[in-house]
Amino acid sequence: AQSVTQPDIHITVSEGASLELRCNYSYGATPYLFWYVQSPGQGLQLLLKYFSGDTLVQGIKGFEAEFKRSQSSFNLRKPSVHWSDAAEYFCAVGAENAGNMLTFGGGTRLMVKP
Amino acid sequence: DTGVSQDPRHKITKRGQNVTFRCDPISEHNRLYWYRQTLGQGPEFLTYFQNEAQLEKSRLLSDRFSAERPKGSFSTLEIQRTEQGDSAMYLCASSLRGGRTDTQYFGPGTRLTVL
């Protein structure tokens, strides 16, 4: 069965600083991976996704993520954080043999200091 | 608004009551998913539909949970004899065909509180 681990429950960064959110997955086949963001009272918004090809994926709002098969990781990065990036971030892996259901990590809550 | 919509946004009920939630997917999306999210956790998959066919329901949490999508458009999720442990956010998502490259678009969720 697939699983996702996000080791950092909370992260605080200063506005303008760089950001890296960690994600490790376990999946028996070639994974397809997602990062979603959830702001209070709102649904999940897709930031980016990886299916195949280039292991560095660009997303919306200036985010990028790198797929590293050898490390089973799909870390999310942003070079300069804005106060509006404060939210909860979820990494997910898709299971093609189960209707493409998503298995999510526990999330990382990002706080941004002025 | 052409996104996924859910109704109601909030539901407070007493233990033992039945509740029903509605999800309207993005128009023309064939695939519809239900997830549950408890406080401090990531969403957990419950069930999904391809058009009106429910193709996976083994992950519904108990036989008190059921879902329908009678005409292949909107879907309902019903919880019978609610328990306090059912308190959570219930999320609906839809995708165009359900293929591995499809994006799942999520609605804002229905927050259930069982007293």
Distance CA B42, CA A40 (A): 14
User: Mean pLDDT across chain B, nearest whole number?
Assistant: 92
pLDDT at A106 (0 to 100) = 96
pLDDT at A59 (0 to 100) = 97
> Which residue in the block uniquely carries the two structure tokens 């999508």?
B69
Distance CA A65, CA A75 (A): 5
Which range among A36-40, A62-66, B56-60, B85-89 shows the weakest confidence by mean pLDDT?
B56-60
Is pLDDT of B1 > 60?
no
- Nearest CB partner across the interface for A104, out of B43, B55, B105: B43
Distance CA B59, CA A15 (A): 41
Q: B48, A45: Cβ pair inside 8 Å? A: no
- Nearest CB partner across the interface for B48, out of A42, A43, A101: A101
Decide if A110 contacts A21 (C-beta within 8 A).
Answer: yes
- Chain B residues with CB under 8 Å of A44 CB are 43, 91, 93, 106
Q: A36, B106: Cβ pair inside 8 Å? A: yes
Is pLDDT of A28 > 90?
no
Decide if A44 contacts A37 (C-beta within 8 A).
Answer: yes
Distance CA A110, CA B86 (A): 27
C-alpha separations of A24 from A11, A47, A87, B56 in Å: 17, 17, 20, 26
Mean per-residue pLDDT, A26-52: 89
B2 contact A CB<8A: no
- Chain B residues with CB under 8 Å of A92 CB are 42
pLDDT at A79 (0 to 100) = 97
> Which residue in the block uniquely carries the two structure tokens 């706080």?
A111
Which comes out higher in pLDDT, residue B16 or B40?
Answer: B16
